[in-house]
Amino acid sequence: MNILFLTLSSVYIALLLFIPSLTQPIMALFKTLPIGLLIVMVLKGRNQLQNRTFITLLVALSFSALGDVLLALDTGQLFIGGLAAFFISHTFYIITMLPIKNWRLDVLLLYLFLAIIIFCLFYPNLNDMLFPVLFYMLVLTIMASLTWMTDKSNGFLVLGGAVFVISDSILGLNRFYLEIAHADIAIMIMYYIAQFFLITGFINHHSNK
């Protein structure tokens, strides 16, 4: 399963590198295949997961896939829809991580500090995207912070949250601050790693229990 995920992810990255002129629907299909495989991983691990975890992970991944499609088809009008889909996805990741085992103010402050710095770079170019981006950054910050505090916390979860922040930071910087060479490649590599680590972290926690 892990090798197949790596293969599907690599195929999409290769398409971005070598055949970016493929039609948007085809690119959207290949973009979502790795997330579809993560959904299969959750379905296969059904017996190892609590009912709530099973449902929330499926919802989180489903909205991630929807966000992938919307962003892949984006011609300027669908970006906010993709943002909303990922907002819901992160919300369900947060629900999956409840209850909180121990509050880590240092972690929360660190992520907030980074978010504020990046937001200040975005701010002059946000215009009507100000509140959508602000709320999205808030939910992403909470999600990444809680990977340290949940009773399910492990190395995969912590890395998954951190890498997700890196991926979305590159996306935001490229869109609202300064164009970055090959940003789409870096974004997707980090994004696939983040999703894989998050799902692996949740499944491993329940398997070990």
| 26-64 confidence digits (pLDDT tens) | 999 999 999 999 999 999 988 888 999 999 999 999 999
Q: Which of 21 and 108 is assigned the larger pLDDT? A: 108
Of 70-74, 92-96, 103-107, 175-179, give the range with the top mean pLDDT: 92-96
% of residues, the chain, pLDDT over 70: 98
Question: Which has the closest alpha carbon to 86: 172, 183, 174, 153?
Answer: 172
Question: Which has the closest alpha carbon to 4: 48, 56, 39, 49?
Answer: 39
Residue 49: DSSP 8-state:
S
pLDDT at 75: 65
Mean pLDDT of 101-109: 92
Averaged confidence pLDDT in the chain: 94
**What is the C-alpha separation between 26 and 40, in angstroms, rounded?**
21
Question: Which has the closest alpha carbon to 8: 31, 26, 28?
Answer: 31
pLDDT at 209: 61
* Whether the predicted pLDDT of 208 surpasses 90: no
8 Å CB contact between 53 and 96: yes
pLDDT at 101: 85
Question: Which has the closest alpha carbon to 165: 53, 62, 90, 60?
Answer: 90
* Whether the predicted pLDDT of 207 surpasses 80: no
* Whether the predicted pLDDT of 165 surpasses 80: yes
Whether the upstream peptide bond of residue 99 has omega within 30° of 0, thus cis, is: yes
pLDDT at 132: 94
pLDDT bracket for residue 1 (50, 70, 90): confident
pTM of the model: 0.95
Strand partners, 150: 100
**What is the C-alpha separation between 207 and 82, in angstroms, rounded?**
32
8 Å CB contact between 81 and 70: yes
For residue 25, the tally of other CB atoms under 10 A from its CB is 10
Name every residue whose Cβ is closer than 8 Å to that of residue 177 and which is 6 or more positions away in sequence: 121, 122, 125
Mean pLDDT of 118-129: 93
Mean pLDDT of 54-82: 92
Q: Which of 3 and 74 is assigned the larger pLDDT? A: 3
% of residues, the chain, pLDDT over 90: 83
